[in-house]
Structure 1
Amino acid sequence: MNTLGILHFEDNTLDAQRVQLVLVKDGWKVESQVVKTCSEYLAAIEQGGFDLILSENEVEEFCGCSVFEIAQHKYPKVPFIFVCRNVKEEEAAAYLRAGAVDCISKEQLWRLPPIARRALQVFASQQLERYNNAMELLLRVVQELSLARSLNEITAIVRRAARELTGADGATFVLREGDMCYYAEENAIQPLWKGRSFPMNTCIGGWCMLHRKQVIIEDVYRDERIPIEAYRPTFIKSLVMVPIRKEAPIGAIGNYWAQRHIPTPEEVHLIQALADSTSVAVENVQVYSELEQRVRERTSQLEFLNQELQAFSCTISHDLRSPLRSILGFSELLQRKYNNQLDEQGKQYLNRVSTSAKRMNTQIDEMLSLHKLTRVEIKRATVDLSSIAKEILSSLKAVEANRQVETYVAEGLTVDGDPVLLRVMLENLLSNAWKYSSKVQQARIEVGMTTETDGSSVFYVRDNGAGFDMTRADKLFRPFQRLHSDNEFPGTGVGLASVKRIIQKHGGRIWVDAAVGQGVTFYFTIK
């Protein structure tokens, strides 16, 4: 069992010993800091570093309400239990309404261990839920950063996420400009240094970049690296600063707290993961900017080539595997070390973290597959689309033999194209039709052909499934853009992007017609 750190406000030494003995006999490993006076209590609260607060309801005419209010102000998430000799029923009820875990009589100390254990389990579950929410936010932010195309977009994303991830009172986004630190953006309860520049050797952001190390400071006024005069007008008492890129850092991200705070490993990990993802995004933007410059300098013949090169920037997302491994590893560590301390809800939250990380890993794999499609050379041959479609539908039926789906494939659908790529294209379209018609009682999937006014062939894949609102159709072929939630229909949002790439490589085009609850028809041409 881990050591339980307790702050105990009690002026009777014997009573304090009795409380500690009860917990030890129940199997707790206790490290108790007993304070007997108001001044000692205030000093201990300022120092922090405990898991549980116990208190008599009146010491030196310092009433229980005041004791509790001070603790709540400094550490609102730490469980607080009154252990009293004499307390009125209405007074105890007031404590509970205010947020205290319980009010226990010293004549009933046997109640303390189970109450404390339950409170700490709830506390651990709440922490895990917050971490789970932060992980989900981080996954969304990483995806947003991977799609960012300018430094302004990156700055806006980091400004919002840096503070939300940890619940800090402030956050800054610092960029290196030669020998200066430029505080590009901030999000804080009070203004800090946005828009200002400082020499690298005079600010903590510069120290972080020059030494390529994380900076964790519990008390900024006791650290010689802190320029005190710059911090004195601010609210900052504690901070974390992490470098953006370990080798040759290009910036830093800072988190700040208005009260003395010991940043947890989880908080540091979250901010560092954000910084690592920001580094990839900045490099992505640099690549994208270079490609834009080439487009402006070259002829219209090279514009199509530039579109393919823009897709290449998506492969930089492969670098996201490093923070992803950290997420998965930390989840496993939580499961091994703290699993027995979690209730069922806590275990569910932990499982959601792991599941979300694995889902992102799948997205990265599909991004890489999407990139490969843009580089493969087409090897043309006569392709029987009818035969391929029948094979695919037969496989889908074999996997879900219990489904009753009516299928129709027109005969004689042939084109001149790459057999491998066109099979991938049809697999995506038919798998989508199969999936999105899964909730329709009389499902139907059709593959056929029509003609345009000029006589050219137009092929189509049609279903009578969920459909979608056509006002959102512009998002359909973009990577990671989905029109349905995972709860409705699972997926990654990469399949249709792959379809469009394959059609474009064949010199064709693809479009869609759909309505909510009436299914979808995908039309495409091959030249």
Structure 2
Amino acid sequence: MNPRYNLGKTLDPEADMNPSIRLLHLEDNPLDAELIRLRLEAAGLSCDIRWVSGKEAFESALAQETFDLVLADSKLPGYDGLSALRHVRERQPELPVIMMSGELSEEAAVDCLKAGATDYVLKQRPQRLDAAVRRALVEKEELAALRRAEEEVRRQSLFLRQVIDLNPTFIFAKDRAGRFVLVNQAMAEAYGSTVEEMLGKAEADVTADAQEVARFLKADLETMDTLREVFIPEEKLIDATGKVRWLQTVKRPIVAADGTADGVLGVAADITERKRAQEEILRLNADLEERVRQRTAQLEAANKELEAFSYSVSHDLRSPLNTIDGFSQLLEQAAGDKIGDKGQHYLSRIRAGTQQMSELIDGLLSLAKLSRDQLRSEAVDLSAVSRKAAQACREGEPERQARIQIQDGLLAHGDPLLLSVVIQNLLGNAWKFTARRAVARINIGGELDASGETVYFVKDNGAGFDMHHAGKLFGAFERLHSHSDFLGTGLGLTIVKRVIDRHGGRVWADSVENEGATFYFTLGTVG
């Protein structure tokens, strides 16, 4: 440590820049004062000495000037050194004072030291003076450093106090006896107390509920005995107003130098609102589950009704249709040559109508079945499915000229049966609407879009459609061509959209009238 004062000669040029020692010397004998000045100078101490010989000058100098050290003669006419010492201690408690005396008894020396003297030196032994001065100044510097450290500790303590008091969580510490040694303002307020009142009190002094006290103390002892942090997800606290609070607490042992825990430090967050929100979520979930249960029961009932309706449609509507078709066929066979050409035409119209109605019933049943059946999820070879559908089209109309190109390795993931329905309907549409072409051209494939998703397509060179009516394409019973031009129920594309929707995908179309159409679809993830 570089001393504040120049306490001796040195070859270090920076040391000569240290200030002189400001010294107040109370001495009535000018010869003794001069001897002391010479003694200090000979010892290498750079001193700026203010010499005073009486009480009034001494007290005035002390009040008006700043000094590093006081030398006081123990006996002066009308004013003794002990009085001067007491005066210094009252006004500047930390200013070093060395008592000087020609004769000082041991008892008098003890009295001086008790009164606050830093040291005493006999005039008959002036060789002790320089050492006493050096020691006094060093002690003064050390005391000043101690005061600065204490002030810093006080400032830091105040800062930390403000930090923990501004924290809305509960912060506390207890000793092994369970007494609070640290409490922040938030916790004190919850207990209806103040920080000062809670310090030194035990849990039982501030908590009325004996079970709460026992629970808190058990966690404290567990923390100290195991020397491990204890986490308490939630614990109940009844505050001073009687309100129930829920806390989430962490307790950590305060470990002493010998390795044992002599206290516990805790931080508790008020999770009352969070717990209330969680309970509300649980209540809402329970309500939702009940509504889902009710809705599921309603859906199950609706499905049963739909199954009954489907059976009724299949049985009750098909039965008269079969009767009409059967008797029409018998009439044609029995009296075909008697009813003439017009009669034959009427019979064919009747049979065509029953056939169309039968197909419409099949379409409605298929549409209803799509909503009930559970999806399967597995790999599907759409190339193979397309080839099978194309073969069926060719077998149905072997006389037609058609070039059907099917991309190899066209793989998808979904319900095999339903994806077959999609291909059959889209390829069937392409086959139907290319019927008037000398050579039908149908292309089935897939490609990746910008996002990396596979887009499947069925493209034809058939009749196409006006894109202004594209919004009607997938509606039930919507037709963009007359039944006389192209047969159909108007349900095929509705079924396609229902299947794609259930797979989480998209379906759309692009067309130029009289030039053909392309139908696109994607498949999402089957749940």
TM surpasses 0.5: no
Classify the TM-score, shorter chain: 0.3 to 0.5
Relative contact order higher in (CA < 8 Å, ≥ 6 apart): 1
**TM score, norm. by length of structure 1:** 0.38
